[in-house]
Structure 1
Amino acid sequence: MSTLVTLVHLRWAVPVLAQLHRGFGGRFVNLTHTLGVSRESLSRTLAFLIEAGLIRRNPGHGHPLRPEYLLTETGARLAEPAAALTDLLQELDAGDVGLKKWSLPILALLVDGERRFSELRNALPGTSNRALTLALKDLESSGLIVRTVTTGYPPTTSYGATPPGLRLARAAERLQLRTPE
């Protein structure tokens, strides 16, 4: 799980990998325009991806048609699942929710079935109660998870993935399984 959390820590990491896989915008300016990302956010994301060993600067850059950024071997293995994930997010109209920091890790945890809040919190070290609550509300409002409250005493609340949420979770798992530790 930690590899998926690390990869989606920055909102634009997965879309940048997807764009580089598609062959669009290996140049900084093309990435800002096609993704609609600010220069500062893109700079941070590119620095993160370089540090993670997923992309590298092109040493032969200089010609206007040569890309500034290239996928590394590891990045190339992740780029195809990243492109599939971004396509699925667009198809489900869930890009805003799906690219938030904790959304995909939460969905990945719900693949095996329903979980309670405390189970999710324990499985996601580094998340605060507030961040987890906000992510769960966003996922529920977008129809990716369902919240169930039992009528017993004391009442319990559990969260489970809907069919579109499961599709996203499986796409996210492809990223997680291919990411080196």
Structure 2
Amino acid sequence: MDIELLVKIASRAWSLSILALLHEGVPGRQAPLLAETGAGRTAFAQSLAHLKALGLLERNPGHGHPLRPEFRLTQKGTAIAAIAARIRAIVPGQQESAVLRRAWSVPVLAVGHHPRYFSEMKGALMPITDRALSQSLRQLRAHQWIEREIDTSQHPPRPLYQTVNAGAAISQAIGLASAAP
């Protein structure tokens, strides 16, 4: 999966959860998915529409009611749903799942698989602002998913960030770790 697509998917809070649930076999109707995610109706509907717009979901022809359609994963969506299911398996708790629903958490973890400076992370996540990146890093450090070390070989010393613990497992599950820095 490329980082641009990951950023687009993560921009809606419930997108990864919906993909993971569909991969795990939850029926593609709104009621079962809504019950499993625990999302609000509006946010859930926006995430569902977003996944359709990205080409990861499609209406299941011949199934469902026009007002209560049934959805299925597209071929592209199936591959990404498997990644979402691996991420969901790593982070089963409610509090940790809430961290992953934040827009930049998963993309930051994806690019933090090896030590990077703040500016390198920002460059890899091109549309991110300094504020959004620093808030994400702070929150991920609070959950011990990102580690911050000071590189004293530089003058002035600069902090390096790298995923650890569950953050490293999520980064590995996403599969960007094999990409060049």
Name the TM-score class by shorter chain: 0.7 to 0.9
Percent sequence identity over aligned pairs: 34
Is 1:20–2:22 an aligned residue pair?
yes
Letter in 2 for 1:54: L
- What amino acid is the match of 1:165? G
Which residue of the partner structure matches residue 144 of structure 1? 145
Equivalent positions of 1:67-82 (< 5 A) are 68-82=70-84
> What is the CA-CA distance between 1:51 and the residue it aligns to?
1.2
Instruction: Give the direction of change, closer, same or farther, for the CA distance of 1:123–1:59 in structure 2 (3 Å limit).
Output: same
Amino acid across the alignment from 2:98 = D
1:107-127: CA deviations, max 9, x gaps?
22121x211111111221111
Counterpart check, 1:102 vs 2:104: yes
* Alpha-carbon offset, residue 3 of structure 1: 1.8
CA distance in 1, matches of 2:22, 2:11: 19
Partner residue of 2:38? 36
Q: What is the TM-score when the length of structure 1 is the normalising length?
A: 0.84
On the 8 A contact 1:149/1:155 being kept in 2, the answer is yes
* Aligned 8 A contact 1:92 1:164 in 2: no
Between the two proteins, the alignment pairs up a number of residues equal to: 172
Q: Which moved more, 1:143-152 or 1:99-108?
A: 143-152
Q: Which residue of 1 aligns with 2:6?
A: 4
**Structure 2 CA distance for aligned equivalents of residues 119 and 136 of structure 1:** 13
Structure 2 Cα separation of the partners of residues 5 and 11 of structure 1: 11
Q: Which residue of 2 aligns with 1:129?
A: 130
Please give the alpha-carbon distance, in whole angstroms, between the structure 2 residues aligned to 1:144 and 1:76.
27
**How far is 1:30 from its partner?**
1.4
Match of 2:173 in 1: 171
Shift in CA distance, 37/154, structure 1 to aligned 2, threshold 3 Å:
same
Residue identity matched to 1:46 = L
Moved over 2 A (4+): 91-94, 149-155
TM-score calculated relative to the size of structure 2: 0.84
**1:93 to partner: Cα distance:** 6.0
Q: Comparing both structures, which one devotes a greater share of its residues to strand?
A: 2
Distance 1:173-1:93 versus aligned 2 partners, 3 A rule: farther
Alignment check: 8 A CA contact 2:100 2:106 kept: yes
- Residues 150 and 22 from structure 1, CA distance in 2 versus in 1: closer, same or farther, beyond 3 angstroms? closer
RMSD: 2.3
Tell me, which stretches of 5 or more residues in structure 2 are unaligned?
A: none
* 1:12–1:45 CA contact under 8 A, matched in 2: yes
| Higher mean C-alpha deviation, range 137-146 or range 4-13 | 4-13
2:56 to 49, 54, 57: 54
- The Cα of 1:133 is off from its aligned counterpart by 0.7
